[in-house]
Structure 1
């Protein structure tokens, strides 16, 4: 029987996490952001423990075993802190989708394996400890890969390029578009892909807002306001934020995404006035 407040996956439901956040929003938000700091600790401890294990394989010593035990103990504590902060960060609604679910499970797996590796070493199980340590290393690599994909997009983990780009601002996905394509496919979707999908797409939904589907855009995000209201540009939160000065905290697009030109904003506004057709 499923416990109240928990989803089918065993994690607290989004509603439960939002309720937790309301108890002390500022404190919990800051704790969640610490995930970005804590995550470097278990990575360092795991790498150090693996290197020490390789050294001990050739030169066993009491001192090496003692040091490795301390490293694994510190890693277990750091992994629990990282996983806990990560769950709080995920509850903020800035990320969504399958990658988030996989990263969350990978993080919890890392914490469990960190404790198992520490206990195996403490009990003197040489081979059990090595198996746990190897599994922990693999889980750490997987969790790190998924975390990088979640934060920076899938392109960050591609280790080769067919051509070089000067900066992130000049990197734009190019898709062939037929000359007789509808207005959305020809003019609007390229703008959203270039300036919006990095933060509000299938991999990352900042503020619980997605703009890659019409239904999600009409529903809006964490603010409760629709990003797009067909026929009513004045009631479209997306258009309001795009028109804000760049130094405004609510201005979109945020970060390094390429901002829209006045002509592009006018094109987007006319599209909304005409009914915001997604075809």
Structure 2
């Protein structure tokens, strides 16, 4: 094999109890004839969205590692708005739209990604053997620096802000046509930031030499998507036709649901230079 990886210890375990609560209220209101508004408000709270069981004792020498549990995020208010306007009162022309804030659930990532104490893993390039036990016996765990994954003490819950506006009407010949625009803004998106880079790659010396790779999980990513959707359809007694066209653009600092940033300084707090076209 070209590379052998073996995790030698894994002191990640911790018991954690969490209760997630969500409350939602909604009402429909027609301030004027032919206009209907749907108003809603959601509130989420995670009773143990902290790191009580995962305070990283070994990594306490790192200045960005919390020594105390994080406070519970109690600010997750998510308003929603929807509207429908029957312009002529006969359903032949409609304006519709909506806006809302939507929060992710972060507790599973906190408990699943944050390490307790730091594990040790061996990376052996070109081991020259397929005998796993022999390779493992040749590794001295005491010489391996611990690997650390830790959540940002100021971690915020990822969210999206979504806005839509569209029109639909009946054209001559019975063709129903519509056009909708959608804007989605992602904020506080999760990314992994390498916080223990090599200060001397030639000698393998890291900024914090007592540790190996240190990854800090941060809510510093953002994304933005713009979508235009056009549709036309017509039905006959024995069939019909439906034509769609979608034009979209997406930019982000994270190109996937979870990305790692290693090309910026370990002390960076602004990742705007990473913002660009994304899949």
Q: Give the TM interval when normalised to the shorter protein.
A: under 0.3
Larger radius of gyration: 2
Question: Which one has a larger percent helix, Structure 1 or Structure 2?
Answer: 1
- TM-score under structure 1 normalisation? 0.21
